[in-house]
Structure 1
Amino acid sequence: MRIGLLTEGGYPYLSGDAGLWCDRLVRGLGQHEFDVYALSRSEDQEDEGWVPLPPQVSRVRTAPLWTARDAGPAYGRRARRRFTEYYGELADVLCASGTGDLPGHPGETSASEADRFANALHGLAGLARDEGPLAGALRSETAVRALERACRAPGAQRPAREARVPDLLAVVAHLARALRPLSLDWYDDAGLGAVDLCHAASGGSAALPGLLARHFFGVPLLLTEYGVRLRTHYLTATEYSPSIRALVAAFHGRLTAEIYRRAAVITHGNAHARRWQERCGADRAKLRTVHPGMDAAPFTEAGEYPDRTAPDTLVWVGTVEPAKDLVSLLHALTEIRKEEPWTRLRIIGSPRDPEGAEYLAHCRALAAHLFPDDADGPYAPGRDPVSFEAIGDPGLPFARDAYTAGALVVLSSVVEGFPAGLVEAMLCARATVCTDVGAVVEAVGGTGLVVPPRNPRALAEACVALLRDPGRRARLGAAARARALELFTVEQNVTAFHGIYQEIHSRTPVRRVVPYDAGEPRPFAAPAETHVPDRWTAGARPRAARSRPGWATDAPPRPAAALSAVEGAR
């Protein structure tokens, strides 16, 4: 199959979200051919370049989400009238659902309003195909006045009615950025019209080209969300005024509902994400669980030798930040040492931002206060009650060395998505004590002890129970390793997506007609799974495949390794 992989701020760029997951997926599915359609988030990200691409990536097309490449020609009277109609329809729907309520709950717009939202998106995209990019129109006074009319119209929600001119300008600017994918030149027979399946690596802007490919060409859409984009928006949009927050939330809520409605299959990484998807309007029948795939190879050898541990040492590994709640862990250690006086704690990790650095300094000060006898002593891992270290320090060259530095791995977070570090500890056959947040219970299953968050006493009691029972630790560690190898490996992830590709394609009518030389259609010429990547046909490609258009990329120059990889695929 030919897959159109849609990304935003990630693959194939060196930095960004979901890059590693996408790279493993593409490399693991060598039997398919991938066209990557990537939206970049910043100029710095584009300047950093791409990761080396495998041969099955045939083409990469990129577009900046952070700026408009071309404002396009000035629209004439007829085009302006079409724009006003479609943009006004979009604004009317947003103002009618301007409270920001989640789809599927009180405040939900009706099915007819969902259709109006979709028609407005499709109308704007059609206008961009006919008349040129929308960038200038989306930031024009016409757009501001259309939004203002919708906010002042009878029936508009209170936050919309209270919007002032600065609020309207901010919302228009936000919509102009979010709707930039409508103006891309990807929507033709040589672009997304030539793929068999669109796979969006996240919701929001990344999935918008997939919606249009489905609308214009009937290409099925697969959506993968390891972090629910709408949930992230609700949690990070707190700095806006109530009017801006309501209107922007209404847009993202309606867009998410439309993506969920049109996607053939929606995948998530854990039950926590699935509940959010259902709450945001996803049809339960479309949902599939595909756990994130982790590379088990660096940790399997460590898991073969579970007895090489310090029996009285606890280990915490991760990124130092307030959400990890190391304060509760340090207070728990004081309770643990009352029962097991020789217990030590090794905190292994580094901050990623100034807030994390400040939190690390606070934790160091707290440790010196709780354990004053060692505050002025020399650094000596294995002797001090608490040590602060980082991967790469002497004795800790790799992550697996951190997990094997103690008998028990502890996770004390108050906020957690999918706990990748916990799975790495499980691959190392380590028993774990974790807090019940995010997808922790789903990941650990019955192979570790789970306690409530922000409860140092419960955390201490669980740790003491396992420190006193080496046999139980060994059994839990072995079970944890077996569970991680069964559910959370790259191979499991790739196999699951291959099956989903086959499932979607088997239910999709054949769209491309392959003709005989005389021009008549060849029946059964393009059934599922017959499209073979070029490198396997070596000059024996069918004539229709040789003439396939659209192999050029409009992306900036790529690194030499990536260029040679793509050229090798041709």
Structure 2
Amino acid sequence: MRIGLLTEGGYPYVGGEARLWCERLVHGLAQHEFDVYALSRGEREEVEGWVPLPPQVSRVRTAPLWAAEDDGVVHGRRARRRFAEAYGDLVGALCSASEPVASPSASEVVDSAAVDSVALDSAVVEPEADRFGSALYALAELARDEGGLSGALRSETAVRALESACHAPGALRAARTARVPDLLEVAAQVERALRPLSLDWYADDGLGAVDLCHATTGGAAALTGLLARHFAGVPLLVTEYGVRLRAHYLGAPGEAPSAVRAVLAAFHRRLAAEVYRRATCITPGNAHARRWQERCGADRAKLRTVYPGMDASRFTAVGESPDGADPATLVWVGRVEPAKDLVSLLHAFARIRAAEPTARLRIVGAVPDPEGAAYLGHCKALAEHLFPDEAEGAYAVGDNPVSFEDIGGPQAPDLAEVYGAGAVVVLSSVIEGFPISLVEAMLCGRATVSTDVGAVVEVIGGTGLAVPPRNPRALAEACVALLRDPARRERLGAAARARALELFTIEQNIAAFHELYLEIVSHEPVRRVLVDGAGEPRPFGAPTEAHLPGRWTGRRRPLRRPRWALPPEHDTARQDLPGYDMPEQDLPGHGTPEPDTAAHHAPVPAAEGVR
């Protein structure tokens, strides 16, 4: 099978986001062929270069999202008219004040009140969704016909169309306040998001030649898959371990004008809804991401949760020998940033120290940016204030109650050893997606105390304690309870390790995607007319089984759970399930093929003597 792997700021770049997960996926599925189509987010990524590529990666094509390149295309009168109509429809759908069917509560939108107050439309009104999608594909077809739209998307025509949409009857209230600088900013951001329209990736020698597109994130990478589906009928699998729409809300600058925030939020909502509507299958990384996708209009029948896979080998030895832990040490591991709420953790530790005078806190973190460095300095000053008698030298591992260590330093400690040195691992975040540090602690067989945010409860199950965020008293009480009960810590740690080995390993992740690849291709094979060197159709170029009628090749039918996956008590009710209206006896051979080879099985011949 030939897979088109679509990334944005990720694999194969050395410093790419989710690079490690993609690298493990490609290495683990060596039986398939991969074509990587990568969008870079910055010059630094391209300067750092690529990771070593395995033999199954046959092609890598890249394009920058961080630099606007002039394509030099001069559009004629007809092309300009087509662009004005399509772009006008696109921004008109964005600025329309459609009535949201339902809006999530503040706790469902994010784990704190840090997000912009723009309401999230949980279900996009169908007329506007169709209008946005039709306009998007009209722009894509114009870009293919003319050779690009980079200049047109930054033209005065685009700004005027946006201005008209903002001031049209029924437009968003915030959009009506847009001034010229706001219109220019929105037009620039939309042009950046739509740069994949101008790429030459969608021909028969590009994404049109793959059997399946796998977008490893939403946004621009998923838009590339949408266009491959539109032009070549290639099925699209979208994986989101962090929902891009949620990331947009979290990253939206609060000082931006309300008109800019409103229109850009509408764009990302509409794009997310179109991706979810056209994707064959969507794989969230946890139930928290799944709820977001459902709120954005994703069909539940398309959703399959696939947990991230982690390398358990480096933590195995620690998990098998839990006796090396200091019974009075708490461990925190993560990125040092305000969302991790180390301030609440330090206040909680002051309460813990009062109840358990021998308790220690070991903070091991990575400082990602200047904001993180400033936050770390604030936390060190707070620790000095809370523990004045022990402040001197309190920032090195030793006899002091609090220590700060840098993961990225020249003498960075081994993470497995860090987890193994503590009795309890703590997470104090107010915003969290998939808590990797908790999974690592679970693999090491350590009991955990964490705040109930994001996918935390889903990850730990019943193997750890969860408390409300921004509640130092509750966090302290939970930690003290575990510090005083070694038997309970041991039971929770053993259960946590068993759960992590079952759900969060690389092996289960690769096996899940291998099964999905085969299932998607069996349901939606790409229809191609194969030709010889002279351009003549080649008979029998595609196997006959690819044209087998029925549920395996239904193009319009959503991906369903296969019949073989149903529990035994549903055996007698299978004919009543949607998507399974074709009796088994109607298939050649009177039997259902195995799911991983269904598209390639020849009909089973009847037994001798049977008529």
TM-score interval w.r.t. the shorter chain?
Answer: 0.7 to 0.9
CA distance in 2, matches of 1:336, 1:126: 63
Per-residue deviation, 1:33: 0.6
CA distance in 2, matches of 1:508, 1:206: 21
Equivalent position of 2:95 in the other structure: 95
SS at match of 2:63: strand
Superposition RMSD on alpha carbons, in Å? 2.1
CA offsets, 1:442-482, max 9 Å, x none?
11111111111122221122112111221111111111111
Alignment of 1:202-241 (within 5 A): 202-237=217-252, 238-241=254-257
Mean CA deviation greater in 200-209 or 67-76: 67-76
SS at match of 2:166: helix
Alignment of 1:104-503 (within 5 A): 104-105=122-123, 108=124, 110-237=125-252, 238-376=254-392, 381-391=397-407, 397-503=413-519
Per-residue deviation, 1:256: 0.8
- 1:61 counterpart = 2:76: no
1:202 corresponds to which letter in structure 2?
Answer: T
Give the number of equivalent residue pairs: 525
Equivalent position of 2:585 in the other structure: none
Give yes or no for contact 1:98–1:249 (8 Å, CA) kept in 2. no
CA distance in 2, matches of 1:310, 1:396: 20
CA distance in 2, matches of 1:101, 1:334: 39
CA distance in 1, matches of 2:411, 2:187: 54
Per-residue deviation, 1:515: 6.0
1:401 corresponds to which letter in structure 2?
Answer: E
Per-residue deviation, 1:415: 1.5
Matching residue within 518, 540, 556 for 1:522: 540
Mean CA deviation greater in 428-437 or 509-518: 509-518
**Cα distance 1:70–1:98, how it changes in 2: closer, same or farther (>3 A)?**
farther
**Cα distance 1:510–1:157, how it changes in 2: closer, same or farther (>3 A)?**
closer
Equivalent position of 1:43 in the other structure: 43
Per-residue deviation, 1:123: 1.1
1:278 corresponds to which letter in structure 2?
Answer: E
- Identical amino acids, percent of aligned pairs: 71
**Cα distance 1:332–1:158, how it changes in 2: closer, same or farther (>3 A)?**
closer
Per-residue deviation, 1:527: 5.6
Mean CA deviation greater in 201-210 or 66-75: 66-75
2:121 corresponds to which letter in structure 1?
Answer: P
Equivalent position of 2:74 in the other structure: 74
Give yes or no for contact 2:310–2:504 (8 Å, CA) kept in 1. yes
SS at match of 2:304: strand
**Cα distance 1:127–1:302, how it changes in 2: closer, same or farther (>3 A)?**
same
Q: Which runs of 5+ in 1 are unaligned?
A: 529-570
CA distance in 1, matches of 2:393, 2:8: 49
1:462 corresponds to which letter in structure 2?
Answer: A
SS at match of 2:322: coil
**Cα distance 1:74–1:346, how it changes in 2: closer, same or farther (>3 A)?**
same
SS at match of 2:332: strand
2:45 corresponds to which letter in structure 1?
Answer: Q
CA distance in 2, matches of 1:266, 1:488: 19
CA distance in 2, matches of 1:7, 1:115: 26
SS at match of 1:389: strand
SS at match of 2:22: helix
Per-residue deviation, 1:71: 2.1
Per-residue deviation, 1:101: 4.2
CA distance in 1, matches of 2:77, 2:311: 57
CA offsets, 1:287-338, max 9 Å, x none?
1111111111111111110011111111112222222222222222222233
SS at match of 1:118: helix
Per-residue deviation, 1:16: 2.4
Higher RCO (C-alpha under 8 Å, 6+ residues apart):
1
Give yes or no for contact 1:98–1:250 (8 Å, CA) kept in 2. no
Give yes or no for contact 1:391–1:402 (8 Å, CA) kept in 2. no
1:153 corresponds to which letter in structure 2?
Answer: A
SS at match of 2:539: coil
Per-residue deviation, 1:96: 1.1
Mean CA deviation greater in 350-359 or 203-212: 350-359
CA offsets, 1:143-194, max 9 Å, x none?
1122222223322232222222221111111111111100100111001110
Q: Please, what TM-score do these two structures have when normalized by structure 2?
A: 0.82
